[in-house]
């Protein structure tokens, strides 16, 4: 049975959006320009995106614009996620969540909770992912929220489907993918919706591939390609062409598999999605061996080993840092609770002292009389 893989590809572009609203007219041009530039660079030049995001954050802090600070933090978090630096990504997205919580911004609370859930999902910490996704789901069902929340709910369904696919089985996950598609098709003119529909079809196709339903898998990958090309989502297209190559390999059609893998490699190199790049190199090495292209087999096998080493080292470092940050985060919460308890104790003690003093004074007055 094919190993289950999780690819969270361009799933949270909606967190970045197209522009920032709610700021003074004189600040709009410079901030909006910097925001768009940083957002555009997330998947092509993540280091530069982080740099622009930091500039945006400092500008927003200077102008005292908390919503812009939140968006800047999400840009930075996306940039780190694109580099598999999940510890830093989660750290910055938590800061964004704190801003949303302080400003009682339910929409951005949902966005950041779902984003944090997606990051935990990417590194296989599925229990933690479920906690954040479930919290986002429950908050999205609050009656006071507008209809604009529907696309966010679609993302939550999509992420829950991926989590179920990884932990339970594809049959159960398919229901969540279908619910996500049903929501997104109601926004046909949205690039964001088309990208998420393509992602959902990719996930459905991968499920069909795992249970050897090759015709349904191929049909689903084709739909993912169709939506991905409308939106030019290079990561999604790379995944879909890689998937079609897997089908060809199972049918022993290695020439067609090679054509699809070549396309997949072109797209994934635009996006720096290392986990998917790893699988493409694995497939290229295997397919070239079947075609007796021994030099290319050796080349791609070596590249596979290099990327695998890179991913392993990055993830180990990220996980260690993440464990430390999680511990620090929990300690800070405990300390805040302790500080709150101390404050309550001090206030209660002061009130008790005042009460005893007043009572004593009244008793003393009565005694003197």
Q: Residue 227: its pLDDT value, please?
A: 92
Low-confidence ranges of the chain (pLDDT < 50): 1-19, 21-22, 331, 333, 366-369
Q: Residue 244: its pLDDT value, please?
A: 97
What three-state secondary structure class fits 101? helix
DSSP letters along 202-250, please? HHHHHHHHHTT-HHHHHHHHHHHHHHHHHHT-HHHHHHHHHHHHHHHHH
Q: Residue 16: its pLDDT value, please?
A: 47
Cα(103)–Cα(42) distance, integer angstroms: 26
Among residues 134, 198, 211, the alpha carbon closest in space to that of 169 is found at 211
Cα dist. 78→15, 27, 106, 286 in Å? 9, 24, 20, 32
What three-state secondary structure class fits 43? coil
Q: Which two tokens stand for residue 167?
A: 């932990």
Q: Residue 163: its pLDDT value, please?
A: 84
Quick one: the chain helix, strand, coil %, rounded to 5?
80, 0, 20
Cα(149)–Cα(364) distance, integer angstroms: 65
CA dihedral 220, 221, 222, 223 (to 10 degrees): 50
- Find out whether 122 and 86 touch, Cβ atoms under 8 Å: yes
Task: Estimate to the nearest angstrom the gap between the alpha carbon of 160 and the chain centroid.
Answer: 12
Q: Residue 33: its pLDDT value, please?
A: 79
- Find out whether 172 and 164 touch, Cβ atoms under 8 Å: yes
- Predicted TM-score (pTM) of the model is 0.73
Domains of the chain: 13-338 (1.25.40.10)
Cα(195)–Cα(43) distance, integer angstroms: 14
Which residue shows structure tokens 């939106």? 231
Using only the alpha carbons of the chain, give its radius of gyration: 26
Cα(208)–Cα(215) distance, integer angstroms: 9
Kindly report the number of other CB atoms within 10 A of residue 342's CB atom. Answer: 10
Among residues 48, 120, 35, the alpha carbon closest in space to that of 79 is found at 48
Q: Residue 1: its pLDDT value, please?
A: 35
Cα(97)–Cα(115) distance, integer angstroms: 10
Kindly report the number of other CB atoms within 10 A of residue 321's CB atom. Answer: 16
Q: Residue 147: its pLDDT value, please?
A: 66
- Helix pair 66-82, 106-122: axis angle to 10 deg: 10
Report the half-sphere exposure of 139 (CA within 13 A, side-chain side): 21
Query: Nearest-5° angle of CA 158, CA 177, CA 174?
Result: 130
Among residues 129, 132, 125, the alpha carbon closest in space to that of 315 is found at 125
Q: Which two tokens stand for residue 307?
A: 């990327």
């Amino acid at each position: 049975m094919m190993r289950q893989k999780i690819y969270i590809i361009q799933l949270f572009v909606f967190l970045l959006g197209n522009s920032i609203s709610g700021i003074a007219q004189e600040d709009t041009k410079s901030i909006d320009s910097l925001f768009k530039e940083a957002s555009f660079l997330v998947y092509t030049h993540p280091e530069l995106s982080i740099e622009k995001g930091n500039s945006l954050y400092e500008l927003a802090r200077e102008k005292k614009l908390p919503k812009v600070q939140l968006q800047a933090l999400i840009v930075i978090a996306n940039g780190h996620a694109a580099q598999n630096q999940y510890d830093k990504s989660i750290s910055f997205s938590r800061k964004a969540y704190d801003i949303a919580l302080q400003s009682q911004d339910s929409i951005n609370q949902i966005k950041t909770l779902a984003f944090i859930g997606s990051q935990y999902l990417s590194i296989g910490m599925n229990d933690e992912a479920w906690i954040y996704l479930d919290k986002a789901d429950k908050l999205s069902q609050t009656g006071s929220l507008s209809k604009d929340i529907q696309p966010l709910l679609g993302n939550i369904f999509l992420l829950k489907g991926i989590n179920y696919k990884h932990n339970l089985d594809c049959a159960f996950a398919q229901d969540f993918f279908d619910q996500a598609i049903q929501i997104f098709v109601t926004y046909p003119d949205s690039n964001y919706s088309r990208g998420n529909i393509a992602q959902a079809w990719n996930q459905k196709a991968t499920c069909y591939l795992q249970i050897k339903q090759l015709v349904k898998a191929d049909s689903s990958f084709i739909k993912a390609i169709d939506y991905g090309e409308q939106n030019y989502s290079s990561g999604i297209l790379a995944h879909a062409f890689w998937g079609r190559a897997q089908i060809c390999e199972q049918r022993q059609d290695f020439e067609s598999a090679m054509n699809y893998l070549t396309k997949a490699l072109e797209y994934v190199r635009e996006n720096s999605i290392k986990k998917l790049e790893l699988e493409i190199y694995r497939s290229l090495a295997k397919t070239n061996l079947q075609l007796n292209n021994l030099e290319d087999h050796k080349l791609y096998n070596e590249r596979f080993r290099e990327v695998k080493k890179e991913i392993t080292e990055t993830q180990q470092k990220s996980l260690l840092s993440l464990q430390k940050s999680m511990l620090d985060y929990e300690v800070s919460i405990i300390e805040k609770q302790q500080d709150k308890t101390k404050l309550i104790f001090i206030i209660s003690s002061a009130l008790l002292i005042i009460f005893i003093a007043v009572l004593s004074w009244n008793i003393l007055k009565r005694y003197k009389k």
